[in-house]
Amino acid sequence: MSLSIILVIVVLAVAAGSVALSPGLTHRQFPWRIALVRHPMGPELSPLSPRRREESVLLLTAVQELFVEDPARALGHAAALVEATMDEMGYPSKGRPQALAAYHRAQVQGYREARRVLARSKSQQVPTEELRTALVAVRDLYLELVRFGTEDGGPSSAASAPASVRRRPAHAIPRQAVR
């Protein structure tokens, strides 16, 4: 299956079930969050298969390469990959930020900001540097999701990721002239 077909499927899946991230929601509005915290893999969460993790490497590489040509579109594709991966793993569609915070607290704020940058980029020009920073935040969350539940037992071990997608410094994504 070609990479472009996979990206189209991911984008369509996210468009059908897109969720707005709301940072002001409380634990009373999401009683299932307590269950997520008590159960290491959550009641319905499952890690990606080894084959799916390998496919994720290819998809992430393609998105990072797309950044050179169209930074805003690359950020949209990256966000779509995160949403599709969360769907595949069984994250609930309601209260997704809170579910993410249970496992990936360090990446949630960056992901929220990236979603705001993405929304703004649809209606106005956003500087390339801001898009790059947002893409780095989305990439970091995506790598955490891909590594979730691997043999090392933790969602954040860089050693468990293939060399081609180990967390690279922010400067590893090409900079373009600020628009």
State the alpha helices, DSSP H only, in 70-154: 71-89, 96-121, 128-147
pLDDT at 34: 40
Burial class of 23 by CB neighbour count within 10 A (0 to 12, 13 to 18, 19+) = exposed
Separation of first and last alpha carbons in the chain: 35
Q: Which residues contact 13 (CB under 8 A, 6 or more apart)?
A: 80, 83, 84, 87
Q: What is the mean pLDDT of the chain?
A: 74
pLDDT at 151: 64
- Band of residue 65 on the pLDDT scale cut at 50, 70, 90: very high
